[in-house]
Amino acid sequence: MVVVGAGYTGLWAAYYLRRADPTLRVAVLEQEVAGFGASGRNGGWCSALFPTSWDVLARKSSPARAMRLHRAMQDTSHEIGRVIDDEGIDAQFQRGGTVTLARSPAQLSRLRDDVDMAHARGFTDADQRMLDADEAREMLAADGVLGGSFTPHCATVHPARLVRGLARVVEASGTDIFERTTVRSITPGRVETDAGTVRAEVVLRATEGYTPRLEGHRRAVAPVYSLMVATEPLDDATLAAIGLGDTAGEHRPTFSDGRHLIIYGQRTADGRLAFGGRGAPYHFGSRIRPSYDGEPAVFEDLRAVLRGMLPQLGGEGDGVRFTHQWGGCLGITRDWAASVGLDRQTGIGWAGGYVGDGVATTNLAGRTLADLVTGADSDLVSLPWVNHRSRRWEPEPLRWLGINAGLRATQVADAEESWTGRQSRIARMMAGMTGGH
Ligand SMILES: Cc1cc2nc3c(=O)[nH]c(=O)nc-3n(C[C@H](O)[C@H](O)[C@H](O)COP(=O)(O)OP(=O)(O)OC[C@H]3O[C@@H](n4cnc5c(N)ncnc54)[C@H](O)[C@@H]3O)c2cc1C
């Protein structure tokens, strides 16, 4: 078997394949180093969020099968925690749930609608519940909190420690990871790399946002950038004033608020705040460049949004320092549907299109790929995302116009809801999409 891409998807697939059948010969080919992609640089929300909307899943299959997929996602963060423990991966995994704050009346009513909708679908307070203003502030003492919602179905993880640790475990199990090996094309039984041809019965594509670079896949996925900043480690007094867990750093919920544009944060194990959002534009022709990982205006706005949410951080001159900033590309399919599958005729499998919800979903994908390849008749292979095919994106310039118009629509919606000119400017600058990170 050949797996193309050594991010979470490729590594989880290799991990579960070898466990299912230790006689399988598995090679992972990676253009840079294991964890180079989004898996090594994400926000570390190991959540039960799934990128495809409930309505689309339920329409395509049934509400009961949509629920089965969501329950499988809830189980997945437990599975990741189990493997991390069993394999001794030091990924700073801890389960603290997610708190989503409402900081305007519109956000509060949207959160209430979300929770009501979830309950109408069969979820309960044990999955997602409203918080009054005091409860929400107790979890995260942000400015202007009117209420919030909470789900326990999320853990925080150090993303790079997880992916590098997983790579070590996969190698130790007898799988070769060939780094600095770029795959140019995948055809049945054959993978062309810049270093030669590899033949294999089964080839699994796990290239996510970088997929358009593969021959014949230019319009399969749109690479969209998400950017992050991180503070220096906060002192005990500042942490105590902010919340997000106890003094021992346990029970740290990930956090967001109810605006349309995606923002996401976590208090890290070493007491920093790592905080991200969408905002970088989609680049014409699905181009990916290292320089796109850093948009100074977006970094500046992320810092301003976090300082605005949390006055405890102080001002730019005399407050807490931001010490890190970075970004990376994630993959979006034309119908915003993630999928995992194997074409038995060609022996080519794939998984991806997670938008910004891949940390846990990639594990479900890896287990599902292993079952598909080994022919196991498991509950996973009948989940409604299996073998789904998304249609291709439009050719340029339509793709560029469509995606960036979507970004702008989100930005305008937030600007209209925001209370102050400053917030409105931030919302304008940080155009983002709903769903994912
Ligand atoms: C800034 C940021 C924050 C995010 N935050 C979160 C979050 O908090 N929670 C969450 O659930 N999700 C988050 N995501 C999304 C999540 O990180 C991804 O969905 C997930 O990591 C995808 O894993 P992957 O293995 O499929 O892809 P990747 O990690 O991108 O791995 C693909 C790998 O394939 C390699 N590759 C590509 N093409 C080739 C080729 N032709 N030849 C050889 N190798 C190739 C790449 O180098 C890369 O290492 C975030 C993403 C970003 C960018």
DSSP code string of 266-315: EE-TTS-EEEEEE-SPPPGGG---GGGG--HHHHHHHHHHHHHH-GGG--
- Counting from 1 in the atom list of ligand 1, the atom nearest the Cα of 193 is 42
User: Is residue 428's pLDDT more than 70?
Assistant: no
- Counting from 1 in the atom list of ligand 1, the atom nearest the Cα of 159 is 17
Asked if 4 and 29 touch (Cβ cutoff 8 Å), the reply is yes
Residues 6+ apart with CB under 8 A from 152: 95, 97, 126, 127
CA 44 / ligand 1 centre spacing (Å) = 12
Residue 403: which pLDDT band, with cuts at 50, 70 and 90? confident
Q: What residue's CA is closest to ligand 1, atom 8?
A: 43
- Counting from 1 in the atom list of ligand 1, the atom nearest the Cα of 328 is 53
Per-residue pLDDT, averaged over 362-386, amounts to: 97
Per-residue pLDDT, averaged over 6-32, amounts to: 97
So what's the pLDDT on residue 420? 41
243 DSSP assignment = B
Residue 407: which pLDDT band, with cuts at 50, 70 and 90? confident
For ligand 1, say whether the CB of 353 is within 6 Å of any of its atoms.
no
Per-residue pLDDT, averaged over 241-253, amounts to: 88
Residue 426: which pLDDT band, with cuts at 50, 70 and 90? very low
Residue 418: which pLDDT band, with cuts at 50, 70 and 90? low
Q: Considering just the CA atoms, what is the radius of gyration of the chain in Å?
A: 21
So what's the pLDDT on residue 404? 84
Q: What residue's CA is closest to ligand 1, atom 20?
A: 358
CA 350 / ligand 1 centre spacing (Å) = 14
Q: Which of 289, 286, 288 is nearest to 393 (CA)?
A: 286
User: Is residue 423's pLDDT more than 60?
Assistant: no
92 conformational bin, left if phi > 0, alpha if psi -120 to 50, beta if neither:
left
User: Is residue 331's pLDDT more than 80?
Assistant: yes
CA 26 / ligand 1 centre spacing (Å) = 20
User: Is residue 28's pLDDT more than 90?
Assistant: yes
142 or 250, higher pLDDT: 142
User: Is residue 436's pLDDT more than 80?
Assistant: no
For ligand 1, say whether the CB of 13 is within 6 Å of any of its atoms.
no
Q: What residue's CA is closest to ligand 1, atom 48?
A: 37
CA 209 / ligand 1 centre spacing (Å) = 7
CA 332 / ligand 1 centre spacing (Å) = 11
Q: What is the pTM of this model?
A: 0.94
**Mean per-residue pLDDT of the chain:** 92
Per-residue pLDDT, averaged over 337-359, amounts to: 97
User: Is residue 424's pLDDT more than 50?
Assistant: no
**Of the given ranges (225-234, 350-359, 383-392, 406-415), which has the lowest mean pLDDT?**
406-415
So what's the pLDDT on residue 269? 96
- Counting from 1 in the atom list of ligand 1, the atom nearest the Cα of 49 is 11
Residue 262: which pLDDT band, with cuts at 50, 70 and 90? confident
Q: Which of 27, 7, 31, 21 is nearest to 177 (CA)?
A: 27
> Mutate which of 80, 162, 207 to test ligand 1's pocket (most atoms within 8 Å of Cβ)?
207
> Mutate which of 359, 363, 430 to test ligand 1's pocket (most atoms within 8 Å of Cβ)?
359
- Counting from 1 in the atom list of ligand 1, the atom nearest the Cα of 331 is 19
Amino acid identity, residue 378? Answer: S
For ligand 1, say whether the CB of 358 is within 6 Å of any of its atoms.
yes
For ligand 1, say whether the CB of 258 is within 6 Å of any of its atoms.
no
CA 108 / ligand 1 centre spacing (Å) = 32
Q: Which of 101, 40, 28, 44 is nearest to 77 (CA)?
A: 44
Residue 408: which pLDDT band, with cuts at 50, 70 and 90? confident
Residues 6+ apart with CB under 8 A from 85: none
Burial class (CB in 10 A: 0-12, 13-18, 19+), 42: buried
Residue 402: which pLDDT band, with cuts at 50, 70 and 90? confident
- Counting from 1 in the atom list of ligand 1, the atom nearest the Cα of 35 is 49
Rounded Cα distance between 57 and 71, Å, is 13
Rounded Cα distance between 417 and 257, Å, is 13
Q: Which of 94, 92, 95, 91 is nearest to 166 (CA)?
A: 91
For ligand 1, say whether the CB of 425 is within 6 Å of any of its atoms.
no
User: Is residue 168's pLDDT more than 80?
Assistant: yes
Asked if 72 and 153 touch (Cβ cutoff 8 Å), the reply is no
Residues 78, 226, 384, 255, CA torsion sign: positive
So what's the pLDDT on residue 124? 98
Q: What percent of the chain has pLDDT over 70?
A: 95
127 DSSP assignment = T
Residues 6+ apart with CB under 8 A from 337: 51, 52, 56, 353, 385, 388, 390
CA 268 / ligand 1 centre spacing (Å) = 20
- Alpha-carbon distance values, 411 to 222, 271, 275, 418 (Å): 20, 31, 19, 10
Asked if 209 and 353 touch (Cβ cutoff 8 Å), the reply is no
Per-residue pLDDT, averaged over 195-220, amounts to: 96
For ligand 1, say whether the CB of 155 is within 6 Å of any of its atoms.
no
For ligand 1, say whether the CB of 12 is within 6 Å of any of its atoms.
no
So what's the pLDDT on residue 437? 59
Q: Mind listing the pLDDT tens digit for each residue in 83-127?
A: 999 999 999 999 999 999 999 999 999 999 999 999 999 999 999
Quote the tokens at residue 231. 């503070």
